Amino acid sequence: MLRRLLEEGQRVRLTIDGKPVTACVGDSVAAAMLSCGLRYCRTTPISGEKRAPYCMMGVCFECLVTIDGINNRQGCLIEVREGMRIDTQLGRRTVE
Amino acid sequence: MRSTADVIVIGGGIHGCSTALHLALRGLRSLVVEKDYAGRHASGVNAGGVRQLARHLAEVPLSVASMELWERIGDLLDDDCGFESHGQVLVAESEAELDQFRARVAQLRLQGYTHEELIDRAELKRLIPAVSDACPGGVVSRRDGAADPFRTTQAFRRKAIALGATVLEGVRVTGLERRAGMWRVSSSAGAFEAPVIVNAAGAWAARIAASLGEPVPLEVMALMLMITDRVPRFIAPVVILRGRKLSFKQLANGTVLIGGGHQGRPDRDANTTEIDWHKLAESARTVWELFPAMRGARIVRAWAGIEARMPDDIPVIGPSATAEGVYHQFGFCGHGFQLAPGLGALMAELIATGRTNLPIAPFSIARFAPAKGANATPDSTPDLMRTTPGGQA
Amino acid sequence: MSAGANPYDVAIVGAGPAGLGAAAITAGAGLTTLLLDENPTPGGQIYRAVTTTPLKERSILGGDYWAGAALVAEAQASGAEIVGGATVWSLDASRELAASWAGTSRFIKARRVILATGALERPFPIPGWTLPGVMTAGALQTLLKSSGLVPDGRLVLAGTGPLLWLFAAQLLRAGARIEALLDTTPWANYLRALPHVPAFAISRYAAQGLALRREVARQVEVVSGVTRLRAEGQGGLASVAFAARSGERRLMADVLALHQGVVPNVNLAMAAGIAHRWQPAQLCWVPVLDAAGNTSIDGIAIAGDGTGIGGALAAEAQGRLAGLAAVAAVAPERLARVPDRQLLAQALARAERGRALLDQLFAPPRWSRLPEGDTIVCRCEEVTAGQLLEAVGIGAMGPNQAKAFLRCGMGPCQGRLCGLTVTELISKARGVAPAEVGYFRLRPPVKPITLAELAAMAHTQRAVAAVVRE
């Protein structure tokens, strides 16, 4: 859905739903997901509708994802790190 | 001046609305005067516990009577109020605590009450698999449960109106006057008259009582609650503790409500409360220890309603000791929600017939009367329900 | 990083132009100053990633953006303790903050608190606005600034307001393609704006704004007077439909950027108990402030767009003025070390010139603020406009009853994306003013916190005992 204007940035390796991908240092998790071609990052706990990042500034909570096993994190506020494990969220999240 | 109703109920919380409904069922017309909207404070924002468990002994007969109404709440109100009966469990955190609970259950048995049952570690684990293994047992009241407090208060309000009661919201009572056997109630929307007044004004009830020459040592409270985001269903009963302050329950939508008695900072005049996070951190700590599975859950909101507590932890119920035609129904901090359906019926019976079979002597306002010779100083405030505007709507 | 000087002389929330300006003044005067921001790097939304953006070609984002670099550098050199990735989730009347960073929450006390929480984009509740592929223009601009990312595929921009045009120009300069810009500015707004033209003409907005419009219109199809806008698709955006003078149209689209202005981000201020009022010209809630920027709570000031929308330069001037007021309150003997108040007030007046015209011209139309039927109002709890109106019908007189009936506004965003819509819809349904309808009663935490993080803040006797034993 998004493309990078510049390809020279320093890369980090991470996984999204188990699939290895790369992103640039300084990317937020939400930016990395969108740049890797993901159309949505979660389904809602109520109707199961697909949702994607909407505001990119921490107010809408649409970009909630699971990062390194911790769910409901705001992907737009967290920068990617080498080796990060990102997972899309389906509906309600388990407590552990 | 026309007589506007048989009874004027001051306060549109769940108690005022329940009394109005039961008065209507007895053919008496009531006028409910509420300064905000029905359920704005404690009635609408409490934890929704429908609990006979661990009640003050004096309250047990009332609570048991009220439970009968809860079990047919849908028939009474045309709304199930979100009431679900999955039991309430008082968890013992130590063997010593379990011994105290054992004595309490035995005492209830002697008085003929069987709703509380002592349970061992195995039954506790069966009822609440997620509870910490360190807990040796507890007490269960199996018919208890929880309901949606705002919805319940609204349902009482709606049904009372459907049966002929009038509910005025956003109207403040400013004064009371007795004239020729009638009460004249001044308000921000003019004056009303009725032979009988019910004081169900919650945290503001002390001002009404004081203006009648019977001041009470009412403490304004703000019990805090917090709630998590949705998590998969993992616990059915409501859990309460005795030693540490905690009540804990999962709602049907998956969110988990955490409360239990920590106080925020109420401002009765501003109509607001402030959250004390140092204390809520204690609640979080208790949950963290008792339910390890909850550690990753997120707290999404916290709040507190303004309510009234009496020094002996039981409410004021029954006729005024100083003024004819006035009945009190307040001081329920933390334990009034379950009592409301039954108490409304009791109040209506008391007003209509002058008597009730339920033991209400312990709740008499006379217990706070000053010793003979002491001077009572009535609160002569012109605006009994005063609040200052400017707090967030 | 720990909060080093707790309690602080000054705690500032938000490192956008207002917060940076305030910190530069207070720390520059030697006051211990803590500046917290939720984003990893300072700059706020307007100067987002100004220290880290991969877009070093300055012409793309433009001079107004790069001006932020000097302000960030000034604040960084001032001695203020600047913490990124820090979420302030509570503030009370005793000026105690609770903030989370690096996985830990802590309480912070300050003698003065300056809220510089800025603005967020106004809700744009059209049919289909929850579909993946629909984002705010500000969101896409953030992706451009912080990661050099541009939409790939067919992009449609829709709405009204200066940011929409600026973002379109930035995209075009970056070499991106825009299928169409759907301008929803109602024709009537031009008439309403007329009386403000003289003041506007001499403001910095006039020449800039017109130049941007020309730059965009040369390269993109601009459709004016757009109404009945909706996003369509199953599980993701497929097309954008709308009505214009030429009739009903439908454009195939992969990304739809929505924008209809920005409004103050009031959640933290309201949760702290600060009194707010309805601002009819900007159709939003603003804090009630005295001439010095003080709120209804002693020692808490608000500066920048959080007080009402004024733009980056006005925000910076307000921030510096709030900083100055803090110095005057905490250490008046140091006032000699700060800039002259008069100069700052003049800068603020200059920056505010022309705002009245922008407010009138870009006032969002009723149809895009007041949704109907199945259109979602509350994204978190998936509550529709129709459900909200039903609740009003059975006695929900205000947002708080609507919340209790429907859970509307109870999700994690805590009403940020639905609050204004709810107030305005109830106002319309009841035929009373928004000020009378009111707003959600907001409470901390203004952002969710994990139970574990909160539990770790407990000073239980056991925890205290453990420390004493050590």
For the stretch B88-124, pLDDT in tens is: 999 999 999 999 999 999 999 999 999 999 999 999 9
Q: Do A1 and C255 touch (CB under 8 A)?
A: yes
Q: Do A2 and C382 touch (CB under 8 A)?
A: no
Q: What is the CATH number of the domain that holds B179?
A: 3.50.50.60
Q: From B309, B332, B357, give the residue that closes a domain.
A: B309
Report how far residue B225's alpha carbon sits from residue C309's, in angstroms, rounded to the nearest whole number. 35
pLDDT tens digit string along B46-91? 999 999 999 999 999 999 999 999 999 999 999 999 999 999 999 9
The DSSP H or E segment spanning B319 is strand B316-319
Residue A6 maps to a domain:
no
Q: From B257, B292, B309, give the residue that closes a domain.
A: B309
Residues B1 and B77 in one domain: yes
Q: Is the separation of the CB atoms in B32 and B9 below 8 Å? A: yes
Q: Do A93 and B231 touch (CB under 8 A)?
A: yes
Show the domain range for B212.
1-84+144-217+312-393
| Structural domain count, chain A | 1
Which of C444, C449, C451 lies closest to B275 in CB terms?
Answer: C444
Cβ-based contacts under 8 A for chains A and C: 128
Residue A95 maps to a domain:
no
For B283, which residue in chain C has the nearest alpha carbon? C455
Residues 6+ apart with CB under 8 A from B140: B53, B87, B88, B89, B90, B116, B117, B119, B123, B127, B237
Q: Do C146 and A54 touch (CB under 8 A)?
A: no
Residue A93 maps to a domain:
no
Residues B194 and B241 in one domain: no
pLDDT tens digit string along B251-270? 988 999 999 889 999 999 99
Q: Do A95 and B294 touch (CB under 8 A)?
A: yes
Residues B130 and B223 in one domain: yes
Q: Is the separation of the CB atoms in C84 and C39 below 8 Å? A: yes
CATH class of C370-437: mainly alpha
Report the neighbours of C using a cutoff of 3 or more CB pairs below 8 angstroms.
Answer: A, B
* Beta partners for residue C138, in sequence order: none
pLDDT tens digit string along B132-177? 899 999 999 999 999 999 999 999 999 999 999 999 999 999 999 9
Residue A26 maps to a domain:
yes
Residues B16 and B121 in one domain: no
Report how far residue B233's alpha carbon sits from residue C290's, in angstroms, rounded to the nearest whole number. 49
Local structure of residue C308 (DSSP, 8 states): B
**In this prediction, what percent of chain B has a pLDDT beyond 90?**
85
Local structure of residue B374 (DSSP, 8 states): P
CATH number for the segment(s) C8-120+263-338: 3.50.50.60
For C287, which residue in chain B has the nearest alpha carbon? B392
Give B278's contacts in chain C (Cβ within 8 Å).
Answer: 107, 457-459
Residue A1 maps to a domain:
no
Q: Do B274 and C93 touch (CB under 8 A)?
A: yes
Query: Taking the domains of chain C in order of start, what are their residue ranges?
Result: 8-120+263-338, 123-260, 370-437
Residues B338 and B383 in one domain: yes
Tell me what pLDDT residue A94 has. 44
Residues B102 and B230 in one domain: yes
Q: Is the separation of the CB atoms in C400 and B353 below 8 Å? A: no
Give B298's contacts in chain A (Cβ within 8 Å).
Answer: 72
Residues B96 and B187 in one domain: no
User: How far from C16 is each of A27, C23, C48, C116, C358, CA to CA, in Å?
Assistant: 19, 11, 8, 7, 21
- Side-chain-side CA neighbours of residue B334 (13 Å): 24
Residues B156 and B62 in one domain: yes
- How would CATH label the architecture of C123-260? 3-Layer(bba) Sandwich (3.50)
> Do the domains spanning C8-120+263-338 and C123-260 agree at the CATH topology level?
yes
pLDDT tens digit string along B297-307? 999 999 999 99
Q: What is the CATH number of the domain that holds A43?
A: 3.10.20.440
* Chain A contact present for B295, CB below 8 A: yes
pLDDT tens digit string along B271-287? 999 999 999 999 999 99
Output the 3-class SS for C135-190.
EEHHHHHHHHHHHCEEECCCEEEEEECHHHHHHHHHHHHCCCCCCEEEECCCHHHH
Show the domain range for A60.
11-88
Residues B224 and B360 in one domain: no
Residues B157 and B209 in one domain: yes
Q: Is the separation of the CB atoms in C369 and C283 below 8 Å? A: yes
Optimal mutation site among A42, A72, A95, A96, interface B, most CBs of chain B within 10 A: A95
Q: Do A94 and B231 touch (CB under 8 A)?
A: yes
Residues B166 and B64 in one domain: yes
pLDDT at C26 over 60: yes
Q: How far is B233 from chain C (nearest CA, A)?
A: 17
What ipTM did this prediction achieve?
A: 0.95
Q: From B291, B309, B327, give the residue that closes a domain.
A: B309
